[in-house]
Chains A and B, each alone.
Chain A
């Protein structure tokens, strides 16, 4: 009589204990699957939130005196070649969301009112080729302009009102008046980079490049600080630029990411251990509680591998069913909940097939170990030592 047939008969007879096995494995694998999808969504959400904090690296022309730059509120009229952006991309610098900017203080007028504003030309954020992300800064169409709230008040431009602003003889349609940010941006006007280069007669020049650092992996691997890594990279790319790191924002960004990551890792590791104990424990318990049966099977001539196969088939069937149900339900619930839990990125949440395969594979492997090992051990004993010795 083959072990598969025996295993099916046994499962049919003891369906309640089989069901408990399936439900327990389903609960643990389901929770793991839930947190795998949830973790991915959470990381996306955190990433988006952190990104929206803004740039934390500023690349300036080397000639800029940083004392004066800060004294002026982060402003300098010294420019550098715009092709530094291409060089940074070509070198695959540890940066992302590069935003080249050209700025000048210039008179802005709306016909009856005029005021000096900080006019900033900028392009859409540029992602590194191997680090594609949704743009942090969208492009401003040529001929249009975004006004800081304080400059808009100076110029008498109301929110949602149609208005035009003239800068250096060029007329721009007001696309929108930005909400107050509490920074210099409230007294600025934003236009597209090419227009700024044209009206200020500085083609192919930029005042600075803002970016987000992507150095966490290199910091972990090399043990170097982020500023050292960036400094080394920029020194290799050009001697005509230097960089500023907004330390507090950079540290906050790293901290938020690592704390959230570590929290999830702890939770996931606990669940993995729990999965291990559950599947191994249930399978071992099953083998130990059937020592007598193993003894009888030996007595009638079943070898150790046939006996192990009987327990293996049982464990695999139950762990397989449990994992299939658990992973499916866990993932579906997680995806379903993602919209409510993650406001910015919840819609992008999707089934994680790689996690499903990993969880299912581990449950399967544990079932093999838990089913085979005790049965192989018991089958190596003399039948008389097993009969009547159910644990």
Chain B
């Protein structure tokens, strides 16, 4: 079986920021690859840099060092307009803070993803158990429901890579399972998933797990 070209290559990635004159290293020398159809989990304690890593992989935060190649392109040497186009077509991002647009109903919130029609948006909402709430506004939903809308928005345009930042953080077990199943099915159908999680046993559903607090170990395991 021939090895598929990786979708995402993260090479020696590091990120730091200044806090009151002190340099704070969020993570250093992070390297891994994600191939099409892979489901990858990022694990680590709060504040360990999971969100920062995911934002960088989504082309939304320039890392301090290292490179991120997506579909062969070094994301942060591209002009921002090219990165925007890549995000529009090939990356779906579910923010930890969800970031739904408050003045759009659920269908429209999903439709702001590129090229998504109303019927496709409604199909995804239906699949995520929100079929009867399409005309509702985010403020009318529980946090768990909003989380599912955010997932629908991240996935509806069928991107090559879905990045989900703790998509089950506030969900009950039934809805968590629903979300995992949707993401797993998405990966099986040809997409890739990179997901930050607090789950105790991410290996149960992920092809591999990145423990952001022990990146040396990760390198040894993945390469």
Listed in ascending order, the chain A residues whose CB lies under 8 Å from chain B are 1, 6, 9-10, 12-14, 292-293, 295-304, 380, 382-385, 387-388
B191 at the interface (CB under 8 A from A): no
Q: Is the CB of B108 within 8 A of A303?
A: no
Q: In the complex, which residues of chain A have a beta carbon less than 8 angstroms from the beta carbon of B102?
A: 13
| Smallest CB gap from A12: residue in B | B103
Shortest Cβ distance from residue B150 to the other chain A in the assembled complex, whole angstroms: 10
Q: How far is the CB of B146 from chain A (nearest CB, A)?
A: 13
A299 and B97 contacting across the interface, CB-CB below 8 Å: no
**Could you say which residues of chain B place their CB within 8 Å of the CB of A293?**
99, 101
Interface residues of B, count at CB 8 A:
27
The 5 lowest CB-CB distance pairs between A and B, nearest first, are A301-B88, A13-B103, A384-B61, A383-B60, A384-B55
* CB nearest neighbor in B for A306: B84
Interface of A is mostly: helix
Residues of the A chain whose Cβ atoms lie less than 8 Å from the Cβ of B103: 9-10, 12-14
Residues of A near B104 (CB, < 8 A) are: 6, 9
Select one of B80, B97, B112 contacting A297, CB under 8 A: B112
Taking a contact as CB atoms closer than 8 A, the residue among B60, B89, B112, B153 that contacts A384 in the complex is: B60
Known: A299-B60, A380-B80. A387 touches B97 (CB 8 A): yes
B58 CB within 8 Å of chain A: yes
Q: Is the CB of B101 within 8 A of A296?
A: yes
A303-B97 in contact given A1-B108, A9-B103 (Cβ < 8 Å): no
Assess the B87–A300 pair: CB atoms within 8 A.
Answer: yes
Write the nearest CB–CB distance from B71 to chain A, whole angstroms: 15
Taking CB as reference atom, which chain A residue is nearest B90?
A301
Give the Cβ gap from B158 to chain A, nearest Cβ, in Å.
Answer: 13
Given contacts A296-B101, A383-B60, A387-B97, contact A301 B113 (CB under 8 A): yes
Is B93 engaged at the interface, CB distance under 8 Å to the other chain? Answer: yes
Contacts of B87 in A (CB 8 A): 298-301
Contact count A vs B, C-beta below 8 Å: 71
Contact A303 B112 (CB under 8 A): no
User: CB-CB < 8 A to A383: which residues of B?
Assistant: 55, 60-61
Contact between B101 and A299 (Cβ–Cβ < 8 Å)?
Answer: no
B111: Cβ under 8 A from any A Cβ:
yes
A-B contact pairs, 23 of them (CB 8 A): A1-B112, A9-B103, A10-B103, A13-B102, A14-B103, A293-B101, A295-B60, A298-B84, A299-B99, A300-B87, A300-B93, A300-B114, A301-B87, A301-B89, A301-B113, A302-B88, A303-B81, A304-B80, A304-B81, A380-B80, A382-B62, A383-B61, A384-B60
Q: Does B95 contact A (CB under 8 A)?
A: yes
Which of B60, B111, B114 sits near A382, CB closer than 8 Å? Answer: B60
For the complex formed, measure the closest distance between the CB of B39 and the CB atoms of chain A, giving whole angstroms: 21
B188 vs chain A, min Cβ distance (A):
24
Please name all residues of chain A whose beta carbon is closer than 8 Å to the beta carbon of B108 when the two chains form the complex: 1, 9
B84: which of A13, A303, A387 is its contact (CB, 8 Å)?
Answer: A303
| B153 close to A300 (CB less than 8 A) | yes
Q: Does B221 contact A (CB under 8 A)?
A: no
CB distance B114 to A385 under 8 Å? no
Contacts of B88 in A (CB 8 A): 300-302
Contact residue among A301, A304, A388 (Cβ-Cβ distance under 8 Å from B114): A301
Nearest-Cβ distance from residue A89 to partner chain B, whole angstroms? 67
Kindly list 6 other residue pairs between chains A and B, CB separation below 8 angstroms, not including A10-B103, A299-B60, A303-B84.
A293-B101, A296-B101, A297-B112, A299-B87, A300-B113, A303-B85
Report the nearest B residue to A7, measured CB to CB.
B103
- Which chain A residues lie closer than 8 Å to B81 at the CB level? 303-304
Nearest residue in A to B84 (C-beta to C-beta)? Answer: A303
CB pair B85 A301 closer than 8 Å = yes
- Which residues of chain B come closer than 8 Å to A14, judged between CB atoms? 103
Q: Which residues of A contact B112 (CB under 8 A)?
A: 1, 6, 297, 300, 302
Contacts of B89 in A (CB 8 A): 301
